[in-house]
A and B are shown apart, each in its own frame.
Chain A
Amino acid sequence: MGVNPLLWGLSTDLYSRCQRLIHLSAINLPYQELSLFSQQVSEKLYDSQQRISDLKAGDEIRDNRFWRDAYYEYQDISREVALIEQFAIPILIRYSETDHITTRLVAKLGEEIGYPQELLPVMTTSSNQYYWAKPELKVIAMPTGDVGGVLGWPDLIHEMAHILLESWADFLQPFRSNLKQYYHKKRQSIGDLDSSESANKWLGQMKLTWGNHEAGVWQIEMAANLIATFVIGPSFGWQHIRLSINHSNNPFKPSPGDPLEDHPADQAQLESISEMLILMDLKNESDLLLQQWEEIIGVSRVDRPQGYDLYYPSELLKGIAQTVFDGCKAKGLIPFTHNKRHPQTAIIVNLIDQGWRQFRESSKDYPDWEELADRNLKQYLNDTL
């Protein structure tokens, strides 16, 4: 019996660290959107301090039968503080005019698409890892090169969708039921056909990556794509093609036999985007996308591997598109098809759509178009601040 002196000391030190970070997070900048973010960051740090106080006041740190519990609790708090220090504090202390304008852009876009105001993120425009989101902090990072670069913005909406998905815990429930049914049916049929052991294994992997445990990130990725497609329309598909050409080396990876990856194959992502466009009565747009995609696949000379459909069955791709389509409507998100008819109010949605049309019609003239569009947008955002 007795206090664990090392844990006690470390807890005291972590408490002080929180205090320093709280001080830093209370930075006084003339940007309204930061005050709420700064408050949220401080609250998280105060929560951590409370957990530290509870740890120091509790029995666990005083009773050696519980020291291990105290150790893991301390470690958990320490990780939470480190995440805030790594991902939130730098945004606050380095917040720039460009970040401010981009955050305003996102707020305006959010207004146009019916995005819940309380979930609007704070932006940082200094990402060195493409776009990323920290949904629990409501932070989105944009790569510097996309500031003023309209073509990449559909991926910004994909990140905004991740924040929605974190907040809407049951949003994908109907798809999860589909997945269960599909898996049981397929497992049964593999058993009936006395198929190879590997077919069963790949099916298990499929369920794991599509599932809803920590390994199951495919449904989240697909859903974020589909929400973005619902609100921004075909531009999301075009940006997906652009991203795939820029970053990917095989549109069918991962397929059975490949090491599992957190992102589903680009091909499957495109197929589900196409399903969403069809649900939105944009079949022509979907056909154009697929046509362009086929051309790229032809150029890249990569063949669809055997067993690909086991990971990406059409039933699941259609199922997740339907779930997201129904869910977006139920949650009151405004579809692209509506905003398309209201260019005066849905300025940013239509700007992105127009950008991609302009690029496809005349890529030669696109840089001039984009420069002018960026200038006009900045002026518009300034006027509406």
Chain B
Amino acid sequence: MSDLGLLSYKYQTMAELARRLRRNILLIKRHYYGLPLPKEDEDIEIGKVIVEFQEISKFLRDVISLSGEDAWPTNWLDEPPLPNALVEQLRKIHKLDRPQYIKALARLEQRLQDIVGLTEKDISLLEEIAYTASVDANSVFRKLMRWE
């Protein structure tokens, strides 16, 4: 497959991940703001979504300070909840406030046990994960279209 085909494969994979993360965070936000769920999402179990983000928070706390996937703890190597590229992006974003970011993730993980206990800051943290995935997908898309 030419580079174009492989870029296309990468884009599809990243776009799907970004979509899933965005949809799930939107569900949490709607719960948090007391809004009904869209009809097509009514069957999604919010409990499962919460567990997924608790795992993501725990995962990010464990790996965000590490230099690369080779240094990740063994338990995250097989099925990491986020790909390494996304972790790298978040690592860059929080280069200067990493200790605070790790603490904020710990608080988020705890408060996710009860959505109403979340804060606006928690919501921002969740949003950042999904939007970073969208930005990543967009970067690959631009290469695919030969715009950069």
Contact = CB atoms under 8 A, between A and B. Distances in A.
Interface of A: 54, 58-60, 65-66, 68-69, 72-73, 75-76, 79, 82-83, 86, 127, 129-136, 158-159, 162, 166, 180, 183-184, 187, 200-201, 203-205, 207-208, 213-215, 217, 220-221, 224, 262-263
A213 B8 contact: no
Contacts of B144: 83
B70 A221 contact: no
B131 A72 contact: yes
Q: Dominant SS at the B interface?
A: helix
Given A65-B33, A129-B2, A133-B1, A204 B70 contact: yes
Interface string B110-148: 000000000000000001001100100110110011000
B5 A69 contact: no
Interface in B63-100: 68-71, 74, 77-78, 80, 83-85
A215 to B, nearest CB: 6
Contacts of B78: 180
Contacts of B26: 60, 66, 69
B44 interface: no
Interface in B12-50: 12-15, 17-19, 22, 25-26, 29, 33, 35, 38
A75 B138 contact: yes
B68 to A, nearest CB: 6
Contacts of B80: 213
Given A86-B145, A180-B78, A183-B77, A217 B68 contact: no
Contacts, number: 121
A72 B22 contact: yes
A224 B131 contact: no
Given A66-B29, A69-B26, A203-B70, A134 B5 contact: yes
A136 to B, nearest CB: 6
B69 A207 contact: yes
Given A214-B13, A214-B83, A134 B8 contact: yes
Contacts of A83: 141, 144-145
Contacts of A75: 134, 138
A262 B3 contact: yes
30 contacts: A65-B33, A66-B29, A72-B18, A72-B134, A76-B15, A76-B137, A79-B141, A83-B141, A130-B2, A131-B5, A132-B1, A132-B5, A134-B8, A158-B1, A159-B1, A187-B74, A201-B68, A203-B70, A204-B68, A204-B70, A208-B84, A213-B80, A214-B9, A214-B85, A215-B84, A220-B1, A220-B9, A224-B1, A262-B3, A263-B6
B2 A132 contact: yes
Top-8 shortest CB links A-B:
A204-B70, A213-B83, A214-B13, A132-B2, A132-B5, A132-B4, A262-B6, A204-B69
Contacts of A68: 127, 131
A58 B38 contact: yes
Contact of A76 (B1, B9, B19, B70): B19
B2 A131 contact: yes
A127 B145 CA distance: 14
Nearest to B130: A72
A59 B29 CA distance: 12
A73 B25 CA distance: 13
A217 B29 CA distance: 34
Contacts of A134: 5, 8
A217 B19 contact: no
A73 B6 contact: no
Contacts of A162: 1, 5, 9
Given A75-B138, A86-B145, A129-B4, A69 B29 contact: yes
Contacts of A58: 38
B145 A213 contact: no
B40 to A, nearest CB: 8
Nearest to A79: B141
A201 B70 contact: yes
